[in-house]
Structure 1
Amino acid sequence: MNYWLMKTEPDECSIDDIATAPKQTVIWDGVRNYQARNFMRAMQLGDQVFIYHSSCRQVGIAGIVEVSRTAFADPSQFDATSPYVDNAYVDNNTASATTAEAARWSAVEVTYLQHLTRLLPLAELKALPALSANPLVRRGQRLSVMPFTDAEWQAVLALQ
């Protein structure tokens, strides 16, 4: 099993939203960074993911989900009404136009596992020696999707 962290703005998709979604499953879409997309493409069924609330009053790790469907074409890239639309696809005026068969962007499905016993704030995570090399605690390195080692995962779980 691999471990990951996904950042989300709680007003868009919080751990509570996932917990109350039908079948407690959501599509994780809208990722528009190539490195983060490649991490999503590396995810396997059963991998566990920390849900990290960002761009809000209380920033930190809020819960855990599990990858329940591996990478597939992100449907939002084909939706002209979506803020995540891939205009190259919609305009279809360029040679790099995205197609369903060769999608530029990927999504995964995640299923709720649990809330943490408390929100683990970024300041506390930054003080954790086991995370000193993790991009989450390094300024300018925070992708929306990033891997965690087993040791980093266990160190975070020990905080709750």
Structure 2
Amino acid sequence: MPFWLMKSEPAELSIADLQRLGQARWDGVRNYQARNFLRGMQVGDLFFFYHSSCAVPGIAGIARIERAAYPDPSALDPHSHYFDAKASSEKNPWSAVDVAFVEAFPEVIRLPQLKAQSALTALPLVHKGSRLSVMPVSTDEWQAILALR
């Protein structure tokens, strides 16, 4: 089973929000490479839920893909800040997935801690300037991160 890491700003959707809701739509991805990774996800895949653009960035927990990629409705909603005027119901280039809560970590695994792990040197997250919001995680990387909990 493939593993993933997905970033969300906690003001948009946090691990606590997902825990409270149980399930949510993961939308608003507006990078083609990240979108392509979304399209590669299968129901049941697990991902690390990463809090970004916040006081304590890092991995906050684990969630699961509940529904495979489908056209992102936020691209068609003029009231959404993810609205894309070039998208239409016939040609929507963006995708969303539905996710479900699995586990919240007692403490966020902070980015400096992740960067210090030699097993994670290939993970795009730890590279300076990487802004990719969805990325694959190898089985070895997954296990190395789980060991940090």
1:52 to 50, 53, 58: 50
Flag as ranges the 4+ runs of structure 1 deviating above 4 A.
Answer: none
Q: Does 2:120 align with 1:131? A: yes
Counterpart in 1 of 2:8? 8
- Superposed, which structure 2 residues align to 1:11-160 within 5 Å? 11-21=11-21, 24-88=22-86, 98-160=87-149
CA drift at 1:81 = 0.7
Q: How far did 1:115 drift?
A: 0.6
Aligned counterparts of 2:125 and 2:81: Cα–Cα separation in 1? 25
Shift of 1:142: 3.0
Q: Counterpart of 1:85 in structure 2: which amino acid?
A: F
Counterpart of 1:91 in structure 2 is none
Alignment-mate amino acid for residue 9 of structure 2: E
User: Could you give the per-residue CA deviations for residues 53-104 of structure 1, whole angstroms, max 9, x where no partner exists?
Assistant: 111111100000000000001000110111011111xxxxxxxxx3334320
Structure 1: state its 5+ residue gaps. Answer: 89-97
Instruction: Give the letter aligned to residue 110 of structure 1.
Output: V
State TM-score, norm by structure 2.
Answer: 0.97
CA distance in 2, matches of 1:50, 1:13: 14
Aligned length: 149
Q: C-alpha deviations, 1:94-144, integer Å up to 9, x for none? A: xxxx33343200000000000123210000000011101110000122301
Give percent identity, aligned residues only. Answer: 52
Distance (whole Å) between structure 2 residues aligned to residue 26 and residue 46 of structure 1: 15
Distance 1:131 1:54 in 2: 18
**Over alpha carbons, which structure has the higher Rg?**
1
Q: Which residue of 2 aligns with 1:93?
A: none
Q: What TM-score do the two structures reach when normalised by structure 1?
A: 0.90
In 2, the alpha carbon distance for the partners of 1:16 and 1:143 equals 22
Matches of 1:65 and 1:143, distance apart in 2: 18
Give secondary structure in 1 for the equivalent of 2:11. helix
